[in-house]
Structure 1
Amino acid sequence: MNKPFFADSNFTLYQGNCLDILKQIPDNSIDMIFADPPYMLSNGGFSVQSGKRVCVNKGQWDKSNGFDEDFKFQNEWIAACKRILTPGGTIWISGTYHSIYQCGFALQRNEYHILNDIAWFKPNAAPNLSCRFFTASHETLIWARKDKNAKHTFNYDSMKNGNWDEDALKKPGLQMRSVWSINTPKMSEKTFGKHPTQKPFDLLRRVVLSSTKPGNIILDPFTGSSTTGLAAYFYQRKFIGIDIEKKYLELSIKRFEELKNRGNSL
């Protein structure tokens, strides 16, 4: 196994291509995977951040290599993840329409059992600059189980009766539905810098608490600034994160150490 880039308190990071690192992880050893794979959007376009026009080029890792090569990549990492999941283990994949349909097809091709698709509605989404089509204000998360015949973890009661004050759509005491209203990351989550596709802690909190148990092992093959890992650590799960970019692993470490030094309090 490659030497970890960082390891402390069940929070472990590896630097490298996820396909190479995943090969070194034992079969049936991971309880849950959260993945936010590249959207393949870095083509010179523009978007809006904090009211300003910005280039959407995120890095070489986000450049499209054409439909066939992009799908080959999505299919390869999704197949690799299936081998390492426990029989009742589940995978979450987040994405926009640029990537999520390829990922959904790859899940079906690799014979995962799809449990839900979640619409993550962003009340504070950025406006559309062109004014020629609807403003994108959601991402889709697909939740799938490795083995159709196995029993997966779903913490129904905590989803129904837990404290989800951040979500205006969640009614107290009623079943949690498949549309989640959660803002994009808070400024406090960007203290040390940010990843271009950073997910909010509130989103990963819900993913972790809904589909894992304390002590479970969670893996993120595109860990970025490791919001998945922070949620895993905060709720007493074990975490493995993989990223090809050193600067984002260093950002992950700063975020983790801040959380650890706060005594595990938000």
Structure 2
Amino acid sequence: MKDAYYKNNLIKLYQGDSLKLMKLMRPNSVDVIIADPPYFLSNGGFSNRGGKKVSVDKGSWDKLSAEYESTEQFNDIFLSEAKRILKYDGTPWVFGSMHNIFEVGYLMKKNDYRILNNITWQKLNPPPNLSCRMFTHSTETIIWAKKDKQSHQVFNYQLMRERNYGKQMTDVWSTPVIKKIEKRFGYHPTQKPLSLFIRMIEASTTPEMLILDPFLGSGTTAVACQMLQRQCIGIELSSNYLDIATRRIKNEEGALF
């Protein structure tokens, strides 16, 4: 790997194309992958933000590069590289919506992962549907899988039960879309709530584990790792988003006020 864009004793951030940089990583070197890959929805359409009609175009990163024949090829390369660098008992968490999650699930089966859970993230305050021709979209999916069908993944069952007031935690996680304070260091159009990442990391890791986020965005995985004292590698193409991630990590370290 090349020189880090930012690093501290727990976190290393790298700028570059994630699929290319993942190819440089050693096999069996990562314990957990948390990934929010592009949904490839930037097609000139419109969405709703704060009650206003806005473009769905999020940036060039959400458009398929000419070097890939299809979104299926992109996701297949990502999942095959993820499997190569995950340890024997490693697990990936992959975000998606109805636009891409079925393709991701199909490719996980193709790459011989075992799917553990299909987490439904329910947004408690979703934006309304502008067309009024279908139900309001209020959920996204997180697939939790494991690399090897015979392995024994880490699952901190008792902690999750404690977090759920003494009851078994289900595969439906309900949160507001995101708190304003989580965006105070800069805007990212697909930023997810920090609470989701804290839950994934608490559920599936131990303190000595290494976590990779190959589509880091504004750095929520790294911020959660800083809070929970986990090692993290983050890869992101945009220097603007890396700067936001760096400020958020430094704030969690106590270096920014």
Bin the TM-score by the shorter chain. Answer: over 0.9
Structure 2 residue identity aligned to 1:34: I
User: Residues 37-116 of structure 1: matches in 2 within 5 Å?
Assistant: 37-64=37-64, 69-116=70-117
Q: Give the corresponding residue for 1:165.
A: none
Q: 1:98 and 1:68 mapped to 2: Cα distance?
A: 17
Say which of 239, 246, 255 aligns to 2:239. Answer: 246
Post-superposition shift, 1:9? 2.1
**1:231 and 2:224 matched:** yes
Q: 1:241 and 1:17 mapped to 2: Cα distance?
A: 11
Structure 1 residue identity aligned to 2:156: N
**1:222 and 2:215 matched:** yes
The question of whether the paired residues in 2 share the 8 Å contact of 1:41 and 1:64 is answered with no
Could you tell me the TM-score, scaled by structure 1's length?
0.93
Q: 1:253 and 1:189 mapped to 2: Cα distance?
A: 13
Say which of 249, 255, 259 aligns to 2:252. Answer: 259
**1:160 and 2:161 matched:** yes
Q: Give the corresponding residue for 1:13.
A: 13
Post-superposition shift, 1:63? 1.7
SS at match of 1:241: strand
Q: Give the corresponding residue for 1:167.
A: none
Post-superposition shift, 1:128? 0.5
SS at match of 2:57: coil
CA gap of 1:262–1:121, structure 2 versus 1, over 3 A, is farther
Structure 2 residue identity aligned to 1:19: L
Structure 2 residue identity aligned to 1:106: L
Q: 2:112 and 2:69 mapped to 1: Cα distance?
A: 20
Q: Give the corresponding residue for 2:198.
A: 205
Q: Give the corresponding residue for 1:189.
A: 182
Q: 1:215 and 1:50 mapped to 2: Cα distance?
A: 41
Q: Give the corresponding residue for 2:127.
A: 126
Could you tell me the TM-score, scaled by structure 2's length?
0.96
Q: 2:90 and 2:47 mapped to 1: Cα distance?
A: 36
Structure 2 residue identity aligned to 1:7: K
SS at match of 1:175: coil
Q: What count of residue pairs does the alignment treat as equivalent? A: 255
The question of whether the paired residues in 2 share the 8 Å contact of 1:42 and 1:64 is answered with no
Post-superposition shift, 1:105? 1.0
Runs of 4+ in 1 over 2 A off after TM superposition: 64-68
**1:13-32 CA distances to partner (integer Å, 9 max, x unpaired)?**
11111111101111111110
SS at match of 2:70: helix
Q: 1:111 and 1:91 mapped to 2: Cα distance?
A: 13
5+ residue gaps in structure 2? none
Structure 2 residue identity aligned to 1:16: G
| Sequence identity (%) | 45
Q: 1:65 and 1:126 mapped to 2: Cα distance?
A: 29
Structure 1 residue identity aligned to 2:153: H
